[in-house]
Structure 1
Amino acid sequence: MAIHVKHQSVLQYKETDCVRVSPQEICAGISGDAPLYSMFRKYPEAKPIACPFKSAPFTFSYNRGSGDCSGPVSKAESCTDDSRLVLKYQACPDVPSTESNVEELICLATWKEGSTRYLVGRITQGNRRPSASDEDQYRCFIYQRDIEANKVVYNIAQSADATCNGIQSAFEGSKTMKFKTVDNHHNRCKFPTWITDHHTWLSLDHKKTFKFSQRNATLKIVDEDPKPVIKAHENYVSDFVWNREFGMESQEQRKQNSEMRVICHGILQQSTEHKKVQMVQIVAHMTHGCNSGYVCMVFYKRDNKVIEIQQSEQYEENPDDACRYFDPATVPFTTLITTTLKPKKCPHLGRYTLASNNIPSEKRRKRQQPVIDQIPAVTPPECESHDYESLLVGCSPTQEQMEFKTPCVDHPTVGYSCHGSWYENNTYYVITTPIARKSTDNIRYCMIYTLSLLNPAPPNEGGASLRNGGPHLLRLSGVLGNCNRDIIPGVKGNWAFNFTSDGSCDETSAMSSASNYLITSASAFTLTLTAFLVILR
């Protein structure tokens, strides 16, 4: 046997017949026209490589031996992983043996012999369950790159089986294809500078990372907890969908489906406030795994280092359809922060007391029970579930903290740093970070709350208002992940409470100082009177 290593995943060999001669003589019997056998390392043991076809997407024609199928044109699109390519075949009515089909090509090996370039890849049929036969999945290709009319063109020949036999050039094979680059695939618009000034954004739970390219035209989204990719075409089911169903998802497949590539295609509208852009609606081309299409995206500026995104879920083939049925009222928000959050002044400074109807009677009964000296003091179990009694907003010297007072002996105060806020539809949103978190903890809370008069008077009686300092009720919820709009403040959320206003920080401090002065004066008067009576005696 004469064995040649073409690639770490490809071996080719020739052999002689089994004859009774000496070892020195038998190897001399290998002729030049002896059959060539190929051995391909199987995926996923074969590590994928970047496909050699650059500048995707392409349109292409193909020929299975019965004529060129060039109309309607077929398409080849890239995946987020550059080792994969999706081939979307169209059927030509006047050409036999053509059919509409989708194939996914995983590039596994390339090498060169003289001027001939070879590729070995694994092909899966998108609209059929993967075959158990390796012979049906692995193919050898010869490809050639040319320039025609200032366009990049790839001529490709494919073998008929899992060998490199039967293909002599890029124009002769069981199937031949001709790839052409697509002109003006995207208008190459740029994302607004108020978004890309910070090239990296994070979701509140730090599970999603959004990174913009240096040219501000491409966005890469990495999701640590990927969901199944969107089916953009009825006749295409990716490997990821099949592996989800049969529980065979590989690490490489999970990685490719955790990444999304977004290219700005066109800006539809922008809204400004005080001469500054606060909202922009964009048509973008998104690639998720090996599915791709056009989506509608809306970016909102909430604070200097806080933005929110809404995105349509359905991929569209036509960019004009991406935002046609987009309804912002029904699409959830994704809240993003920068990697360099700094404390900011909290809104609505003041002191608040937990409303009495927030404390269950069972908890009040437990707190009123006497503590037995023989039993060591322990933290009440309710202290572990946000058992707050009062709230101080910005009453620390920096005015950048929200402090929740608890009945717990070990943890009397739970503090949060404010990082940015905004007001929308009579609701306030504040991005916060727990002060006592671990250095490796990336928890961020969205505080969602509303303010309303505690006992509003009818309008014709000229009742007090928030503006003139009337008492009010603060309904507050803490939420992880996103500032969800379906949260009812004080009712839903990871935790929820209702507080009543108890004056501003300065007012309460002044009252406390006056009270201390009166107590001190009274004590001094009592001491003087006592001394006077002693002298009289």
Structure 2
Amino acid sequence: LCEPKRDLTTLCALITGDARLFSMFRRDAPPDACPFKGPFTFSYSRGHGLCSKPASTIDSCTSDSKLLFKYQACPDVQGTESSGLEGGPGLSEEDKFRCFAWERARETEPKLAYRMAQSGDATCNGVFSAYDGAKTLKISRAGSYSGCEFPHWVSRHRHWHALDHGASYSVSHRNTTLRLHHTRTTPHPHNTPSRTHTLPDDDTGQGVPSQLKASTEARMVCSMRREAKPYRAVFVTHFTTGCSSGYVCTVFYRRNGHIIEMQQGSRAVRAMDACHPMYFNTSTAPHTTLTSNAPSRRACPLVGVWVAGGGECGRDVTHLRAGCSSLHSLNFVNACPKESIKQSFVCHGNWDEDGSIYVVASPDDHPAHRYCIIASSRNYNNNNNNKHSNKSSTTTTTTNAGGGGGKMLQITAHAHSCPRHQVPPTTTLSINFTAQGECESANTPSGTQRHSPHFTTTFLLYILLTTTLNRISHVHNPR
């Protein structure tokens, strides 16, 4: 009732000490971060006894403002049977809100981390402390992930990006957590992602896509290390998407200092089951190829000149010149009637696996973009492939066009990752090539050839050895 004749002080004095309290919740208020993060276990009581076995759990969601409480039922405690989802979608406004009171556990309770009380409706009535409420909880810390860290060659860069920049991973929490961010880019007319504005990178001073400011969409926490080698590491990770979580077998491969690959299985409820063949199969799990923000230039493989098909002039690309204009260049050219470069790539790293050579490269006209160029050869010498299938090639791969001899390659380019199985190419680049011979250098006198790095290295070693032998001969046979 409105009483305009009375002032506010007089009206407030009429409220008695036991007057009913009304709880109001602002619907469009921005969320706050939760006061603590999982994982936790807890026991709870609804007034009919403590339900502690089996233990209930609290997991953090990818959003810091959400926690997922999973209540377990106790057969010998009344009122612990499942009765639906609290706070979930499809509920009325009043059923979506609850009032909580919490406090840190006292020193006399070393096994507990927190105590909490929850209201029975959308008010704070009856919740006078963390010990009083329609539901009370005793919260303990679950097994932590301390001691488990990702390899140093993963944490060397704070940010890793998919080839098309459609997804990015950031390393955080002292190399124990990878956060996945999906980004949106505008497709390029030639099936390449568009340029993105960049922000300073914490570890390199270079740029990282501005889309990393978007919210985290998934989180991987290092839970258990199963295998650690210089070029391969296997982990069990606690994987969370939204408020759904589980344990995933995750394998990292080091290709070079700026390129890694990752395989992941499906989610398991228990950590011990994550790498079981039921949840993870290394031969069928897809590979995710990731690069640092500014990968360095590396020598290209397949050094020499390759001719497309029969070399017909009707083709858009008639030749491939690998490592010719520079050690780190792949030039797809049309030589009819005058040679012109149709597409030029800069190599950032390569490795061989199961008879195929994988090259991560970026186009000259869009250096921020990445592609995986796969070269498959029927007569490629793969006697030792199984030994090196998980190793990166730190120098130019020995397969080259020198000497011709009918070597044949099928080259395809992929914009998203490096697939291991036959999949349609995600770019227009898919050509069969035949080896033609050594590189011809326009910077040398007519009639000379630019030799491959292996020939140059051998020649320099020959000069060094000859000089050393001459010196030894001079010492033992003085004039």
Provide TM-score, normalisation by structure 1.
0.67
1:219 deviates by 2.1
2:134 pairs, out of 167, 174, 183, with 174
Q: Deviations over 1:379-420 (max 9, x none)?
A: xxxxxxxx3222111110x22111111469997432111110
Structural mapping, 1:155-234, within 5 Å:
155-182=115-142, 184-186=143-145, 188-213=147-172, 215-224=174-183
Instruction: Pick closer, same or farther for the CA change 1:27–1:192 going to 2, 3 Å.
Output: closer
Structure 1 residue 500 corresponds to structure 2 residue 434: yes
1:151 deviates by 4.0
1:507 deviates by 8.6
Q: Deviations over 1:87-117 (max 9, x none)?
A: 00111111122123675xxxxxxxxxxxxxx
Q: Which has the higher contact order (CA 8 A, sep 6+)?
A: 2
1:329 deviates by 0.7
* 1:351 aligned residue: 305
Contact 1:55 1:181 in 2 (8 A): no
Contact 1:453 1:470 in 2 (8 A): no
Structure 1 residue 124 corresponds to structure 2 residue 87: yes
* 2:49 aligned residue: 67
Structure 1 residue 304 corresponds to structure 2 residue 257: yes
Larger relative strand fraction? 1
* 1:36 aligned residue: 21
Instruction: Pick closer, same or farther for the CA change 1:467–1:352 going to 2, 3 Å.
Output: closer
* 2:333 aligned residue: 405
**Quick one: which amino acid aligns to residue 213 of structure 1?**
S
2:417 pairs, out of 479, 482, 485, with 482
Structure 1 residue 90 corresponds to structure 2 residue 86: no
**Quick one: which amino acid aligns to residue 124 of structure 1?**
G
1:34 deviates by 2.1
**Quick one: which amino acid aligns to residue 61 of structure 1?**
S
Contact 2:401 2:436 in 1 (8 A): no
* 1:290 aligned residue: 243
Q: Distance in 1 between matches of 2:238 and 2:57?
A: 15
Q: Distance in 2 between matches of 1:426 and 1:56?
A: 46
1:512 deviates by 5.9
Identity %: 37
1:333 deviates by 0.2
* 2:275 aligned residue: 323
Q: Secondary structure at 2:153's aligned position in 1? A: helix
**Quick one: which amino acid aligns to residue 131 of structure 2?**
F
Instruction: Pick closer, same or farther for the CA change 1:409–1:21 going to 2, 3 Å.
Output: farther
1:31 deviates by 2.5
Q: Distance in 2 between matches of 1:514 and 1:283?
A: 56
* 1:336 aligned residue: 290
Deviates more, 1:286-295 or 1:428-437: 286-295
Provide TM-score, normalisation by structure 2.
0.75
Q: Secondary structure at 1:136's aligned position in 2? A: helix
1:181 deviates by 1.4
Structure 1 residue 260 corresponds to structure 2 residue 214: no
Q: Distance in 1 between matches of 2:136 and 2:231?
A: 51
Q: Secondary structure at 1:36's aligned position in 2? A: coil
Q: Distance in 2 between matches of 1:21 and 1:50?
A: 45
**Quick one: which amino acid aligns to residue 169 of structure 1?**
S
* 1:421 aligned residue: 350
Structure 1: segments with no counterpart, 5+ residues: 1-16, 104-122, 227-253, 272-276, 368-386, 455-464, 516-537
Instruction: Pick closer, same or farther for the CA change 1:97–1:18 going to 2, 3 Å.
Output: farther
Larger relative helix fraction? 1
Q: Distance in 1 between matches of 2:368 and 2:337?
A: 25
Instruction: Pick closer, same or farther for the CA change 1:262–1:102 going to 2, 3 Å.
Output: farther
Instruction: Pick closer, same or farther for the CA change 1:153–1:189 going to 2, 3 Å.
Output: closer
Which structure is larger by alpha-carbon Rg, 1 or 2?
1
Number of residue pairs the alignment of both structures matches: 397
Q: Secondary structure at 1:422's aligned position in 2? A: strand
Contact 1:86 1:102 in 2 (8 A): no
